[in-house]
Amino acid sequence: MMQLRILIVDDELAICENLSDILEDFGHDVHWEVDPESALSTIERENECVFDVAILDFKMPKMNGADLLCKIREKCPDIVAILASAFCDDLKVKDSLKNGFNQIMEKPLDVSNLLKLLEGLTPLVLCVDDDQEFCDSLFEIFQSKGIKASFSNDIENAKQIIQSSSFDVVLVDLKLPDGNGSDTIREINCQRPDIKTILITGYPDQLEQNSADIPELQPDAVFLKPIDPAHLMNVIFRLSNQST
Amino acid sequence: MAIDGFSFPMRTAIRFVLKTDPKKAKVLAEKHCNGTHPTLYFNTKSNLMSTKAKESYFDRYGQLQAYVGWSPEDATRIAAVKQLVSPSFPEMIDDFYATIKRTDDAVKVLTGGDTQINRLKQSLTSWINQLFDGNFDEMYVDQRLRVGHRHVEIGLDQVYTNVALSRLRSSINQTIIAKWSGDQIELAETITSVNRILDLDLAVIEDAYQIAHTKRQKQEERYATIGKVSGGIAHEIRNPLNIMKTSIYYLKNAKDISDEKRDKHISRIEAAIDDSNLIVTALSEFARLPEPNLTTISMEKLIQETIAKNVLPGEPFKNQMRFSVACSLSDDHILGESAQLLIAFGNLIRNACHAVNYEGEIDVMIGERNGKKMIAIKDNGIGIEEDNIKRILEPLFTTKPKGIGLGLAITKAIFDAHRAELTVDSKVGQGSEFAVLFPIREDV
């Protein structure tokens, strides 16, 4: 399972600590707050979003879970938000799905369901690059974070692998022995719009020739070598969970 | 009520005594059992009013009699005319029920068909016979009260009592006039007496109808509230359940649990069980709040006990919070059930402690207001916002993040049952006063 950065906000201290114990035991990185306002200041203190997932209570003093999420999304537009509420038959809570929660979970929480849900957030990645060393280091990074990944050194092989598995994200190097990464991405975006694409290149000056492309056929993100692994992880997670 | 093992006159006598004094009746029954073993069944369920209530109702009947100008002569005149009208009773009764049968709304409530109608005819026969017996005693009044109660039970609109009695009145009056052979002035007086007793009967039935109707309405409101409260409780109890469930998951599934962690999770589960129990207790207190068992109690003692129970000595805030209890009454006794009032005042005192955040001043005043004995609890705490004042007595309304919103609802229910009045006066930032006005003793 991918190691996730999880924010828990529940005015019940015992629940924060319990979930934190469980999720940390599964290797996640957990931060919790009993006060919605201090949760917000934690988020606002950072330059960028430092959480992948937020598990929020609904009924809290000062601010309810839905209002809190609205504020969280200002900094973390793509955070996966789970509402954990004892008031699930409440209309206000039902509205919360419209308010941007990805999932509503009833209290008492079914922890195995929560873990399954988190596991489902782990992206399946394909990396197409002829630089074996780069592939090896990516493999280690992915493994340490619990991300499942396949690797391919050329386009032909990559096309076959794509058929066999349901990848969330495909990373493609710009210069490949049997063709051009931009063309490959265009092809993938055309045939499999459900797959998110990232273009990787060490030659930023060669990118410009494709800028006239229609947005749907362009890569969802572009990374320049040397890449920042932590940033790459965040983008992969964000892209893979945009569709869910 | 069944009385076995007695001769018929004895049974009648016992039945009569039972109505007013069950204890005496039991002694009487045992004394006259002549070696046989009597069985006395006291069907308390059918007692719509307590003996005390019946006695006080009989006093009210006296007032109603005085109002219509009732005199012993009325009773004599009515008794005297009985033999003249009684041969026509069967005819009148047949007409009475024939009319009902023609009225859709009235016949709708008679679900038992002809069997029920025959039974009702018997009741009406005994009712009309009793009317002309001239004994307008407690039993007589009790019978009339039962009619009103019964009408609420079967859902008969009270309007039919009025029109049916009007029809019966016409039949009776016409019969008397047709058969009268004596003095015309005396006839007019007799008709007036008959009208008076019929009006009194109608008033009693109406009274009973009102009493039973209000009681039923209250009960329905109560069920509705309990329904609403249970819904809220379901939500509230999920919180401790959530804690238990996640702690148990951790204990079962985590890879390496330190002793410290294990102990922590176990005590957390225990605390969650205690919390659930508190919620359940609050609910059952609310749902099964019995009628108070009234005894004479001292208000000052009650308050001292409440404070002792709810503000435990040795708690850290004890030194910062100031309590004062002042009593300006020479006789501070009221009728009440102290177990219930302890809950009610306990809630008020605890709320006051929260309002002053355990460091302000709380004054309890025992005195008089509007001629009624009063206990007022005043604090200099945060106060209640104007919009919330109206809502604080509603079940499930709470401004406390961890509150269930049952405390004040239970408190109000207890004061209602004591027929005490709860008033709230509050200003944000200045404090609140909750005053409880107890009914004047005679009204209890």
Please work out, in degrees rounded to the nearest 5, the angle formed at the alpha carbon of residue A19 by the alpha carbons of A14 and A21.
95
SS3 state at B268: helix
Q: Which amino acid is at B288?
A: R
Is the domain of B209 the same as that of B224? Answer: no
Task: Name the closest residue on chain B to residue A22, using Cα atoms.
Answer: B250
* Cα A13 to Cα A21: distance, rounded to the nearest angstrom: 12
Q: Which residues of chain B have pLDDT under 50?
A: 1-14, 16-20, 33-47, 443-444
- Closest partner residue to B245 (CB to CB) among A12, A25, A108 is A108
Q: Establish if B74 touches chain A: CB-CB under 8 angstroms.
A: no
Q: Given this model, what pLDDT does residue B232 score?
A: 65
Has the ipTM of the complex gone over 0.85?
no
Chain A: which residues have CB within 8 Å of chain B? 11-12, 14-15, 17-19, 21-22, 25, 60-61, 84, 86-87, 90, 106-112
Q: Which amino acid is at B373?
A: K
Interface subset of B 373-432, CB within 8 angstroms of A: 401
Q: Given this model, what pLDDT does residue B43 score?
A: 36
The pLDDT tens digits for A95-137 are 766 678 888 888 889 999 999 999 888 899 999 999 999 999 9
Is the domain of B226 the same as that of B304? Answer: no
* CATH number of the domain where residue B315 is located: 3.30.565.10
Number of domains composing chain B: 3
Is the domain of B161 the same as that of B238? Answer: no
Bridge partners of residue A180, in order along the sequence: A175
Q: Given this model, what pLDDT does residue B195 score?
A: 94
- Cβ–Cβ gap B243/A18 under 8 Å: yes
Is the domain of B89 the same as that of B208? Answer: yes
Omega of the bond prior to A226 within 30 degrees of 0, cis? yes
Domain span at residue B406? 295-443
Is the domain of B192 the same as that of B324? Answer: no
Give the residue from B179, B198, B217 where a domain finishes. B217
CB-based contacts of B163, cutoff 8 Å, min separation 6: none
More confident residue, A14 or B224: A14
Give the residue from B166, B182, B217 where a domain finishes. B217
Is the domain of B330 the same as that of B421? Answer: yes
Is the domain of B44 the same as that of B151? Answer: yes
Bridge partners of residue A7, in order along the sequence: A31, A54
Is the domain of B213 the same as that of B175? Answer: yes
Structural domains in chain A, CATH included, are 5-119 (3.40.50.2300), 124-242 (3.40.50.2300)
The pLDDT tens digits for A49-59 are 899 999 999 88
- Closest partner residue to B243 (CB to CB) among A14, A60, A90 is A14
Give the residue from B186, B217, B248 where a domain finishes. B217
Q: Given this model, what pLDDT does residue B47 score?
A: 44
Crossing angle between the packed helical segments B407-417 and B338-355, to the nearest 10 degrees: 140
Is the domain of B152 the same as that of B199? Answer: yes
Chain B residues with CB under 8 Å of A106 CB are 238
The tokens 């954990």 sit on which residue? A84
Chain A residues with CB under 8 Å of B271 CB are 14
More confident residue, B287 or A48: A48
CB-based contacts of B158, cutoff 8 Å, min separation 6: B151, B206, B209
* Cα B118 to Cα B122: distance, rounded to the nearest angstrom: 6
Q: Cβ of B45: how many Cβ atoms within 10 Å?
A: 6
* CATH number of the domain where residue B270 is located: 1.10.287
* Cα A225 to Cα A201: distance, rounded to the nearest angstrom: 6
Chain A residues with CB under 8 Å of B261 CB are 21
CA distance B332 to chain A (A): 42
Is the domain of B22 the same as that of B142? Answer: yes
SS3 state at A200: strand
* Cα B292 to Cα B286: distance, rounded to the nearest angstrom: 13
Is the domain of B328 the same as that of B384? Answer: yes
Is the domain of B141 the same as that of B236? Answer: no
Q: Given this model, what pLDDT does residue B87 score?
A: 94
